[in-house]
Structure 1
Amino acid sequence: MNEPVYDTIVVGGGMSGVKAAADLSAAGHSVIILEGRDRLGGRLFTDRSNGPIYELGCSWFHQTLDNPLYDLALKIGLKPEYDDVGPGIYDNNGPLDPIGKLGQAASDFSPWTTLYFDKNPNIEDISLKDLVDLFIQEHPNLSDYQMQEVKRILKIPTLINGSPADQVSSKFGSIPPLGRDAFATGGYDQILEYVSKPIEKKNIFFNTVVSEVKRLDNDLVDVITENGKKFTSKYVIITAPIGVLQKELIKFTPSLPEKIVEAVNGLGISQIGKVYFQFDEVFWPIDSNKFVFVGDINGEYTPILISNWYLYNGKKQYPGVFLIVPAPLINKLEANPSQAFEILKPVLESIKIDRKKAVPNPTKFKVTTWNSDKLTNGAISRAKLGINPSIATKNFEEGAGNIRFAGEHTTYRGFTFVHGAWISGEREARYILSKL
């Protein structure tokens, strides 16, 4: 019996793969999704199994002035909430800047950086560490206290990059400020469910890990899974994360063109993760959206974002926060999640209102596994020091004939974000529809 030849096989059922498959399905094309997990969404994962909503993947609509998923959320009746109130900055001793002297000094850094690159147009890039050091050197009128603490504040970008300051790009590592962030109140899975409606369940193959993509002499493509099953199609869309591609967990036969190899190797991987803590009561500033910790953990500078999850989950029924934690600490927590509370207690101590009371033990907690999970091998892509990520995304957009690429790492518009993944899926579906 001859196996079917599909119009398109989508490798991976994250937002980019779901969007591509949905658009192709709606146009009447035969398309299947091969997904390694037992669910759709990939790094979008809303866990509702314990009462409160745990967003174990993306939580915000970023760049809301240019975010089609934010617009979609409003269209289908969701109510994202802006959480753009300036975050309080804390260190191990509590609020770091109660009278604003640090914030004002640090605010000069962004325009100073613009002027620096304008004055030095031939400098392709410089690490965040070196740029901060230069900034401090050129501002000798800062007090000793300001010099010490402003340096900590200015290295906050090491958090989202999941990398030390000497590996963070200053020229290419910043995210365009295209609007405020809005929290996906009520669960990001509602967006995923809406986008996936055109896809028939029979066309989704769960627990199916792809090991090889093989282009045939007749221009068809075989997609082979770890258990040896083979699927054939005219087009393939690879939506595997950049961490999977860099580890070469999918073999391509023949090898990918050099421009795609350059794209894969031209991006960095941000190693960050989330840790949720649920408590019986709120002990932090109840109406603050978020906090940034710039203190030390075990003697090492570790910036951490603390989101007041209590404000956005179940109408204030579940007191809790979640922390976004960078490497190397997140790698330790993924390997030993039971140690999360004891290790992160200094962070929670920093935001408590009553300085005399100890932080209570959590009633529940969760630690994500983005970096140790073989289907992700990292959280999101990032700019590599010295390399403009727009070069890599352009190469991914061009693709390799009938082997296409989608995902947050393949588009400069929405780069690293879930709406970028959506945009890339739409792009690849449009390309294939123009060819078939």
Structure 2
Amino acid sequence: MDTIVVGAGIAGLTAARLLHAAGRRVIVLEARERVGGRMWTDRTAGFSVDRGASWIHGLTGNPLTDLVPAFGMETREFTVGSFQAGGRPIADHDASRRLLDDDATRRWIADVDAADALFQRTIADSGPDESYAAAAERTLAATGWDPERADRVRSFYRHRTEEQCGAEVEDVAAHALDEDAIEGDEVIFPGGFDALPRAFAEGLDVRTGTTVTAVTRSADGVRVDTEVGSFDAAQVIVTVPLGVLKAGAITFTPALPDAVAGPIDRLGMGVFNKVFLQFPKRFWQDGVYAIRQHGRAGFPWHSWYDVSVVSGEPMLLTFAGGAWGREIERRTDDEVVASVLDSLRALYGAGVPDPVAHWITRWGSDPLALGSYSYVAVGSSHDDHDALAGPVDGVLHFAGEATYGHEPATVHGALLSGHRAAERILGAPVSLDRLTRDVRATR
């Protein structure tokens, strides 16, 4: 065997697809009984509910922009997935839970823009051991704003890191969101995002239900041990989530060098869970993308996204990130739903109906993920993402969103990391156009 790929998420399938297109013999070993990894669409209700990845974050210069239509995937524009203060209609509520009028909304957005401009200068002066929280405090102190005005932006920054990193603002490095620029609109998928990895997997030798336990390097190449047997190959690409690597679920022999083990230890793995609520009728404003509660009243729930365009039913999606994301995993579904409803009823009154259905994710306790996506923790850097990719001894490669410093925590970052791993093995550039051509050739 030429190459073994561990993990059938988008990174692993991209690498396998490109190697297959180049005539290499490839096996993909996947512990789950499905492909896609953290791209997981639940269709049990008769419509798509993306429990994992949902958005293309920025269509400009994004490889997914051309790939998605090539596979006939329907999209809908939805440009607030990157936790923006404005840009699209948002029903903003102040600390007293009153809906902001147009003038107040403009002032709020202007405050965030002004603070962000100052924040960028603060971050530029920050070292690797300063947290996002500390940098935010230095920024807000420099504004000279009154406590209420500053606290509203402070809460926004806390929620930003919860959504973008799945982590507490004190745990996230000041430089963590340096690469967080979104170019162009964002889109979501009425038919489900996991149509992409399912298309990539067509015609490949994917062994689902096969959990890898060990990878051994030797002069002859690599041996990959699983719960059902061993496989030998010249090269291996490991694409399991960072949480799995941090937990030591795969034994590497010889031990990983510090150049790779160090980044695994330093980078953070965030928890970011979704709560979808399907209602019998719509009770919120028409034409809004999101509902947002500002200030301290926005704890623990602060933002709800109108995803009715995906389901065709009245549906809101809210998120729980960081410590709160881990906390809801210890609670029952009924307790989580009741908590969300308490916050919604504080905004819209007792007439908010009970939902007719709900979906709640628990990525932190999923043993095959142990988190949602990576982030730059205090003491780490974006360089750690790329260093994690290896290769080690010329035969062991790593791929996945956690290994791509320019666009971590994104589907397109994962895809590009798989592309990079394939190019390193082949020793030559490979066009991403080969993905669509190779899939079509197998159909």
Q: What TM-score results when the alignment is normalised by the length of structure 2?
A: 0.87
Which secondary structure does the structure 2 equivalent of 1:193 belong to?
A: helix
Q: Is the CA contact 2:47–2:191 (under 8 Å) kept in the aligned structure 1?
A: no
Counterpart CA distance in 1 for 2:201 and 2:95 is 45
Counterpart CA distance in 2 for 1:176 and 1:58 is 18
CA drift at 1:82: 2.2
Q: Is the CA contact 2:35–2:201 (under 8 Å) kept in the aligned structure 1?
A: no
Query: Any stretches of 5+ residues in structure 2 without a counterpart?
Result: 80-87, 429-443
Pick the aligned partner of 1:432 from 425, 432, 435.
425
CA drift at 1:68: 0.8
Pick the aligned partner of 1:152 from 145, 151, 155.
155
Q: Is the CA contact 2:301–2:318 (under 8 Å) kept in the aligned structure 1?
A: no
Q: Is the CA contact 1:289–1:311 (under 8 Å) kept in the aligned structure 2?
A: no
State the match for 2:435 in structure 1: none
State the match for 2:343 in structure 1: 347
Which secondary structure does the structure 2 equivalent of 1:245 belong to?
A: helix
Counterpart CA distance in 2 for 1:184 and 1:83 is 10
Whether 1:256 and 2:238 are equivalent positions in the alignment is no
Aligned AA for 1:138? A
Pick the aligned partner of 1:37 from 32, 41, 50.
32
Counterpart CA distance in 2 for 1:80 and 1:309 is 12
Counterpart CA distance in 1 for 2:133 and 2:258 is 32
**Structure 1 residues 135 and 303, CA, compared in 2 at 3 Å: closer, same or farther?**
farther
State the match for 2:209 in structure 1: 207
State the match for 1:369 in structure 2: 362
CA drift at 1:176: 2.3
Counterpart CA distance in 2 for 1:158 and 1:15 is 24
CA-to-partner distance for each residue in 1:141-190, whole Å, 9 max, x for gaps?
Answer: x3443133232223222322222222222223341233332222321122
Aligned AA for 1:186? G
Pick the aligned partner of 1:75 from 67, 70, 79.
70
Whether 1:389 and 2:382 are equivalent positions in the alignment is yes
Of stretches 242-251 and 420-429 in structure 1, the one that deviates more from structure 2 is 420-429
Pick the aligned partner of 1:48 from 43, 49, 58.
43
Q: Is the CA contact 2:221–2:234 (under 8 Å) kept in the aligned structure 1?
A: yes
Counterpart CA distance in 2 for 1:90 and 1:158 is 20
Q: Is the CA contact 1:61–1:69 (under 8 Å) kept in the aligned structure 2?
A: yes
Q: Is the CA contact 1:23–1:198 (under 8 Å) kept in the aligned structure 2?
A: no
CA drift at 1:385: 1.5
**Structure 1 residues 213 and 136, CA, compared in 2 at 3 Å: closer, same or farther?**
same
**Structure 1 residues 131 and 301, CA, compared in 2 at 3 Å: closer, same or farther?**
farther
Using the aligned pairs only, state the percent identity.
27
Q: Is the CA contact 1:11–1:17 (under 8 Å) kept in the aligned structure 2?
A: yes
**Structure 1 residues 104 and 233, CA, compared in 2 at 3 Å: closer, same or farther?**
same
Pick the aligned partner of 2:190 from 185, 194, 213.
185
Q: Is the CA contact 1:64–1:180 (under 8 Å) kept in the aligned structure 2?
A: yes
Whether 1:94 and 2:97 are equivalent positions in the alignment is yes
Query: Any stretches of 5+ residues in structure 1 without a counterpart?
Result: 1-5
CA-to-partner distance for each residue in 1:308-353, whole Å, 9 max, x for gaps?
Answer: 111232xx3x11111121132222322322321112223323553x
Pick the aligned partner of 2:406 from 400, 410, 413.
413
- Work out the number of aligned pairs and report it: 414
